[in-house]
Amino acid sequence: MSNLTDSCIEIMLKKIKNKKILIYGTGIKARKLIQMLNKYNVTFVADCNQISGQFEGIPVIDFDCTEMINADVVIIACAQKNTKEIYRRVIDRCLAFGWQIYSSNGSNLIDYYRTDLCLTDDKGYYCRNEKELLDLINQYDAISFDLFDTLIMREVL
C-alpha cells in the first residue's frame, strides 16, 4: 500500500470515527474493510446483487430503499475500476441525505469526482445555490413532475 493511500485512509478514519457507516459492496474488499472497521459503527451493507440478509454479521439493505436508513457515511468497497460506476449509481441519494462518500482506499469521492458531477448536464443543479435554482424556476409559468419514480418511488420491479 502506498504512503498516499495510507494517508487517505488515516484521514478518512479520523472523519468517520463517530459516524454511522454504510458499506456498499459484498465482495472481498468489503469483507476486508468491515474487518478493518471492527471498532467503528458499520450499521449496514448495501449491494445491487444482494438486497437482504446479512454480510459479515451486518444487515444487508436495499440501497434504493434507504429513506429510513440512519447513516452518515457510505464507503464504496469494490474493485477500483468499478468505483466510478457505483459512485454514479449512489451519488443522488447520498447528496439528498447529506451522506459523505469514500472509496475503500480512503478517497473522499465527492471531492474527487466533483468536476464530473458539476459538468454533466443532468446533474448541473447540484452546483447551483438556492437563489440560482429559484431564478430558474421563476422563468416558467408552470413546472410539472412525473409523479411516479420522481416524487413517489414504486418499490416493485
Asked if 71 and 20 touch (Cβ cutoff 8 Å), the reply is: yes
Asked if 52 and 42 touch (Cβ cutoff 8 Å), the reply is: no
Rounded Cα distance between 100 and 22, Å, is 10
pLDDT band at 116 (very low <50, low <70, confident <90, very high): low
Helix (H) or strand (E) holding 117, with range, is helix 109-119
Query: What is the structure's pLDDT at 21?
Result: 94
User: Is residue 138 over pLDDT 50?
Assistant: yes
pLDDT band at 134 (very low <50, low <70, confident <90, very high): confident
Grid cell for residue 48? 445491487
Average of pLDDT values for 124-153?
Answer: 74
pTM of the model: 0.70
Query: Strand, helix or coil at 31?
Result: helix
Sheet strands side by side (includes 54-55): 54-55, 58-61, 41-46, 20-24, 73-76, 100-103
Asked if 91 and 124 touch (Cβ cutoff 8 Å), the reply is: no
pLDDT digits (tens, 9 = 90+) for 21-67: 999 999 999 999 999 999 999 999 999 888 889 999 999 988 877 66
Query: What is the structure's pLDDT at 128?
Result: 63
